[in-house]
Amino acid sequence: MKVYLKDGSVREYDKPVRVIDVARDIGQGLARCACAGEIDGKPVDLRTEVPDGSTVNILTFEDDYGRDAFRHSASHLLAQAVKRLYPNAKLAIGPPIDNGFYYDIDREEPFTPEDLAALEKEMQRIVKENIPIERFVCSREEALDRVKKEGENYKAELIENLPDDAEISFYTQGEFCDLCAGPHLMETGQLKAFKLMSLAGAYWRGSEDNKMLTRIYGTIFPSKKELKAHLERLEEAKRRDHRKIGRDMELFMMNDDGPGFPFFLTKGVTLKNTLIDYWREIHLRENYQEIQTPMILNQRLWETSGHWAHYRENMYTTTIDDETYVIKPMNCPGAMLVYNSKPHSYRDLPYRLAELGTVHRHEKSGVLHGLMRVRCFTQDDAHIFMTHDQMIDEIKRIVRLIDEVYLLFGFKYHVELSTRPESSMGSDEDWEHAINGLKQALEEMELNYVVNEGDGAFYGPKIDFHLEDSLGRTWQCGTIQLDFQLPERFDSEYIGADGERHRPIVIHRVAFGSIERFIGILIEHFAGKFPTWLAPEQIRILPVSDKFYEYGETIKKQLVAAGFRAEFDDRDEKLGYKIRAAQKDHIPYMLVVGADEEESGTISVRNRDKRAQTTITVDDFIQAVDKEIIDRQIELIDFSDGQSES
In 140-266, beta strands by DSSP E: 168-173, 176-179, 193-203, 212-221, 252-253, 263-264
**Do 293 and 355 form a contact (C-beta atoms < 8 A)?**
yes
Per-residue DSSP letter, 253: E
Catalytic residue (choose from 80, 173, 379, 485): 379
Enumerate residues 6+ apart whose C-beta is below 8 A from 227.
Answer: 193, 194, 195, 219, 220, 221
Q: Which of 146, 215, 352, 462 is catalytic?
A: 462
Tell me 54's DSSP state.
Answer: -
- 368, 259 Cβ separation under 8 angstroms: yes
Is 381 among the catalytic positions? yes
Residues in the chain: 646
Closest among 58, 69, 63 to 4, alpha carbons compared? 58
Q: Which of 195, 230, 508, 578 is catalytic?
A: 508
**Residue type, position 373, single letter:** R
Q: Which residue out of 68, 381, 483, 585 is catalytically annotated?
A: 381
Q: Are 263 and 254 in contact (CB under 8 A)?
A: yes
Residue in 340, 307, 293 with CA at minimum distance from that of residue 491: 340
Out of 33, 177, 180, 332, the active site residue is: 332
Q: Is 504 in a helix, a strand, or coil?
A: coil
Per-residue CA distances from 448 to 322, 436, 454 (Å): 52, 15, 19
Q: Is residue 332 annotated as part of the catalytic site, yes or no?
A: yes
Integer CA distances (angstroms), 308 to 311, 324, 331, 419, 508, in order: 6, 12, 14, 22, 18
The question of whether 508 is a catalytic residue gets the answer yes
Marked catalytic residue, from 83, 360, 383, 509: 383
Which is catalytic among the residues 361, 509, 517, 540? 361
Q: Is the bond preceding 294 in cis, omega lying within 30 degrees of 0? A: no
* Amino acid letter, residue 55: T
Rounded CA-CA distance 360/396 in Å is: 30
- CA quadruple 58, 62, 68, 69: dihedral positive or negative? positive
Around Cβ 61, how many Cβ atoms within 10 Å?
20
Burial 599-623 (b: 16+ CB within 10 A, else e): eeebbbbbbbeeeebbebebeebbe
Active site annotation includes 379 = yes
Q: Own/partner pairs for 572-576, CB < 8 Å, 24+ apart?
A: 572/546, 575/542, 575/544, 575/545
What CA–CA distance (Å, rounded) separates 248 from 243? 9
Q: Which residues are catalytic?
A: 332, 361, 379, 381, 383, 462, 508
